[in-house]
Chains A and B, each alone.
Chain A
Amino acid sequence: MQNKKSENLKEQVLRMSGVNPSKCMRCGKCSGTCPSYDEMEYHPHQFVYMVENGDIETLMKSDSVYKCLSCFACVDRCPRGVEPAKLVEALRLCVIRQKGKNHMTADDIPAVLDDEMPQQALVSAMRKYSK
């Protein structure tokens, strides 16, 4: 069902994240937990399923990877230890790597600040490295 490119991408995501999506039993607890669910086009359990199916590009194109707050609630709650947030993180990294050298500079930040964006996003940035 997959072509070479998407297979490579899938392999990359799996290596970066260290996640084994086949452990997922599709219970939906991650999506039931996710505080950002309503903002997302694809939800945490779908991330896992789509990665398993090698449907990486669809995810990379979707805004949903940025709606994830990295709160790690899904990681905490998943009964099978799948760690969906790590997949989301890997997907974000994939996007960045694909874009090449166009990281944001500090000056760009005020322009993209979002009043609606919870403070938690900042906190979670720290948290994800401690996990």
Chain B
Amino acid sequence: MQRIGVFVCHCGTNIAGTVDVKAVAEALKNEPGVVFSTDYQYMCSQSGQNMIKEAVAEHRLTGIVVCSCSPRMHEATFRKTAQAAGLNPYMVEIANIREQCSWVHKDMPIGTEKAVILAKAAVAKVNLNAPLTPGESPVTKRALVIGGGIAGIQTALDIADAGFPVDIVETKPTIGGKMAQLDKTFPTLDCAACILTPKMVDVAQNEKIRIFSYSEVTDVKGFVGNFDVTIKRKARYVKEDVCTGCGLCTEKCPQKNVPNEFNLGMDNRRAIYIPFAQAVPKVATIDPNYCTMLKTGKCGVCSKVCTAGAIDYSAKDEYIEERYGAIVAATGFNPISMEKFDEFAYSQSKDVITSLELERLMNAAGPTGGTLLRPSDGEHPHTIVFVQCVGSRCAACEQKGKEYCSKICCMYTAKHAMLIRDKYPDTDVYVFYIDVRTPGKNFDEFYRRAVEEYGVHYIKGMVGKVSPEGGKLKVQASDLIYGKQLHIDADLVVLAAAIEPDKSARGLATMLTASMDTNDFFTEAHPKLRPVESPTAGVFLSGTCQGPKDIPETVAQAGAAASKVIGLLAKDKLLGNPCVAHSDEMMCNGCSTCEKVCPYGAITYQDKEFRMPDRTTKVRRIAVVNEAVCQGCGACTVACMSGAMDLRGFSSKQIMAEVDAICK
């Protein structure tokens, strides 16, 4: 039998105003196990805590019940007090008589009665409590960042700045992400490359950062502090440490007609290529789908021209394994496919383009050298129609669009319209919008400038149909303010395509056991209070993989994710939560039910030999909980049909004892 002390807090008048605290203390005196019961004005105060310590010594207490505010407030405080008094901290229970009694009831008798019941339940639980000790695990002081866009770059730089080594895994041959493809950036209109490439160079030169470009994560095992990750380094057929990035091979390669993905297929590159001049790492890559040497064994031009001797046609994919303490997902976004939007004639006319394609057409390093020309005939467009919300806020059909607002397109459309009117004042620019959404510092001012200073025609309404006709694009649209249907002969139509998470994110989330929402954006641990952590311990979120964001927001989140990683890596050991699940191996049938319900992937199965009563041995499959991964949610204990799974500190027996005490 335990020797339990009960301490009833007044919380000033917060509790004492509606709960008769003296009556509660009195009523608890006769509960089984209780040897001491008292009340005090502020249990959490220093003198309140001393009172507990003295009572432990004087009455040789083995368990404590504090009737006070929510355990969220002071459970940790009273556990520390117990520890200081020589008790195991998990021998403390809180009866919440403030939020659940005094704050929700008006009548003293009702509040008091409920407080007594809750206190009795807590006593019943403490009677079954056992001392618990949290497990410890070491922390590998190295972080992995998956995705090398501006989000991944910023996170890696910030972690490295704190002195921890970081690896960036980027699936493309270079880091930089979408920002590297942009021309100028709202709301200040500074050139994307001018602000991005110095950061890329910082990454390349930082001793603490390794870049695994043209690589992918293929396997993740382990848990917070100790993730074992397998990284596939795709064969690039060019030795990374030998190639000087001179680019001679990319000029001499006879295979000229490869669609250039960096310019979204609007021009061609060679089979051996460097995506853009400021690529990091600046190393050539051979595209095995187009290289004639790799396909037919004939050619070898690049190897002949390469003075550094960097070409290696026999290269193979390589796999490396590395251990990390923390993982950051920064896999970014892509514009959705426009194929399903026949109404805008995207597939029919080259002159119907997406906004990202427009970025390339306006970029000095793009296919037109920065002069805005129609993709079909290379002429200057004189009438340009922008359509916002293409595929955003579209709840009609999942295959076609996305229900959410993509958040960035109102602003970049204003940017595009303004830049075009600035450079080509003879161009008529129309923007069709459902709403113009410009929350953000200097954002609405920016959009109003497009209208008021640059004379962009913003029209409330939507384009219903675009038909290519005689070199023009016939645009049929509504003007809801006028109440008219409009017909515009346009030279260029630009679609502000919705954005979606990178398609690889779902597979990655499965590997990381990180959760996603229905749109495949990574879910944060708490939408308001823990926005850069995933619910899976040790996995953090950076940038647009968590939700639509512009660059300032992405960078802010990237820094926040880095600070969480630094906080983790700064620890030498992680103290686990001892209130975790464990399975009684004698009762477990190895049915796999628990594994399926565990949201954190904490449960695996093991074949174990058991000695049978007749002295034979038998191998049975049993569940094993990884205590470092288990968050103690209890889902498995409810799902387990054999009753083998139980939660330490919240065992089924303890909970039933509480229920019994309440129902008595």
A residues near B, CB below 8 A? 20, 22-23, 25-26, 45-46, 49-50, 53
- The listed residue with most A CB atoms (<10 A of its CB), out of B455, B460, B481, is B481
Is A22 touching B451 in the complex (CB atoms < 8 A)?
Answer: yes
Residues 454-477 of B at the A interface (beta carbon under 8 Å): 455, 460
CA–CA, A25 to B445, complex, Å?
A: 12
9 A-B pairs besides A23-B452, A26-B481, A50-B482 with CB distance below 8 A are A20-B452, A22-B451, A22-B452, A25-B451, A26-B460, A46-B481, A46-B482, A49-B482, A53-B482
Is B481 touching A45 in the complex (CB atoms < 8 A)?
Answer: yes
A-B contact pairs, 17 of them (CB 8 A): A20-B452, A22-B451, A22-B452, A22-B455, A23-B448, A23-B452, A25-B448, A25-B451, A26-B460, A26-B481, A45-B481, A46-B481, A46-B482, A49-B481, A49-B482, A50-B482, A53-B482
CA–CA, A2 to B460, complex, Å?
A: 19
- The listed residue with most A CB atoms (<10 A of its CB), out of B451, B455, B460, is B451
Closest approach, in angstroms, between the C-beta of A3 and any C-beta of chain B? 15
How many residues of B are in contact with the other chain, CB < 8 A?
7
CA–CA, A23 to B450, complex, Å?
A: 11
CA–CA, A25 to B482, complex, Å?
A: 14
Chain B residue nearest to A53 (CB atoms) is B482
CA–CA, A22 to B453, complex, Å?
A: 9
CA–CA, A22 to B459, complex, Å?
A: 12
Residues 480-497 of B at the A interface (beta carbon under 8 Å): 481-482
CA–CA, A23 to B449, complex, Å?
A: 9
Proximity string of chain B (338-366) to chain A, C-beta cutoff 8 Å, 1 when within and 0 when not: 00000000000000000000000000000
Interface of B (DSSP majority class): mixed
- The listed residue with most A CB atoms (<10 A of its CB), out of B448, B452, B460, is B452
CA–CA, A11 to B361, complex, Å?
A: 35
Chain B residue nearest to A55 (CB atoms) is B482
CA–CA, A26 to B435, complex, Å?
A: 11
Chain A residue nearest to B451 (CB atoms) is A22
CA–CA, A49 to B482, complex, Å?
A: 8
Residues of B near A45 (CB, < 8 A) are: 481
Residues of A near B481 (CB, < 8 A) are: 26, 45-46, 49
Closest approach, in angstroms, between the C-beta of A23 and any C-beta of chain B? 6
Residues 417-470 of B at the A interface (beta carbon under 8 Å): 448, 451-452, 455, 460
Closest approach, in angstroms, between the C-beta of A7 and any C-beta of chain B? 14
Residues of B near A49 (CB, < 8 A) are: 481-482
Closest approach, in angstroms, between the C-beta of A60 and any C-beta of chain B? 17
Closest approach, in angstroms, between the C-beta of B417 and any C-beta of chain A? 13
CA–CA, A50 to B479, complex, Å?
A: 12
CA–CA, A45 to B482, complex, Å?
A: 10
Chain A residue nearest to B456 (CB atoms) is A22
Residues of B near A53 (CB, < 8 A) are: 482
Chain A residue nearest to B428 (CB atoms) is A1
Chain B residue nearest to A22 (CB atoms) is B452
CA–CA, A23 to B452, complex, Å?
A: 6
CA–CA, A22 to B457, complex, Å?
A: 9
Chain A residue nearest to B486 (CB atoms) is A1
Residues 392-431 of B at the A interface (beta carbon under 8 Å): none
CA–CA, A45 to B481, complex, Å?
A: 9
Chain A residue nearest to B444 (CB atoms) is A25
Chain B residue nearest to A28 (CB atoms) is B481
Residues of B near A20 (CB, < 8 A) are: 452
Closest approach, in angstroms, between the C-beta of B197 and any C-beta of chain A? 37
Closest approach, in angstroms, between the C-beta of B388 and any C-beta of chain A? 15
Residues of A near B460 (CB, < 8 A) are: 26
Residues of B near A23 (CB, < 8 A) are: 448, 452
Closest approach, in angstroms, between the C-beta of A19 and any C-beta of chain B? 13
Closest approach, in angstroms, between the C-beta of B438 and any C-beta of chain A? 11
Chain B residue nearest to A26 (CB atoms) is B481
Residues of B near A22 (CB, < 8 A) are: 451-452, 455
Residues of A near B451 (CB, < 8 A) are: 22, 25
CA–CA, A22 to B460, complex, Å?
A: 14
CA–CA, A71 to B144, complex, Å?
A: 67
Closest approach, in angstroms, between the C-beta of A50 and any C-beta of chain B? 8
Chain B residue nearest to A23 (CB atoms) is B452
CA–CA, A49 to B479, complex, Å?
A: 11
Residues of A near B455 (CB, < 8 A) are: 22
Chain A residue nearest to B436 (CB atoms) is A25
CA–CA, A5 to B455, complex, Å?
A: 21
Residues of B near A50 (CB, < 8 A) are: 482
- The listed residue with most B CB atoms (<10 A of its CB), out of A22, A23, A45, A53, is A22
Residues of A near B482 (CB, < 8 A) are: 46, 49-50, 53
Residues of A near B448 (CB, < 8 A) are: 23, 25
Chain A residue nearest to B481 (CB atoms) is A49
Closest approach, in angstroms, between the C-beta of A101 and any C-beta of chain B? 35
Closest approach, in angstroms, between the C-beta of B455 and any C-beta of chain A? 7
Closest approach, in angstroms, between the C-beta of B304 and any C-beta of chain A? 60
Chain A residue nearest to B482 (CB atoms) is A49
CA–CA, A49 to B448, complex, Å?
A: 16
CA–CA, A46 to B483, complex, Å?
A: 10
Closest approach, in angstroms, between the C-beta of B569 and any C-beta of chain A? 49
Closest approach, in angstroms, between the C-beta of A1 and any C-beta of chain B? 8
Chain A residue nearest to B452 (CB atoms) is A22
Closest approach, in angstroms, between the C-beta of B54 and any C-beta of chain A? 66
CA–CA, A22 to B458, complex, Å?
A: 10
CA–CA, A46 to B452, complex, Å?
A: 18
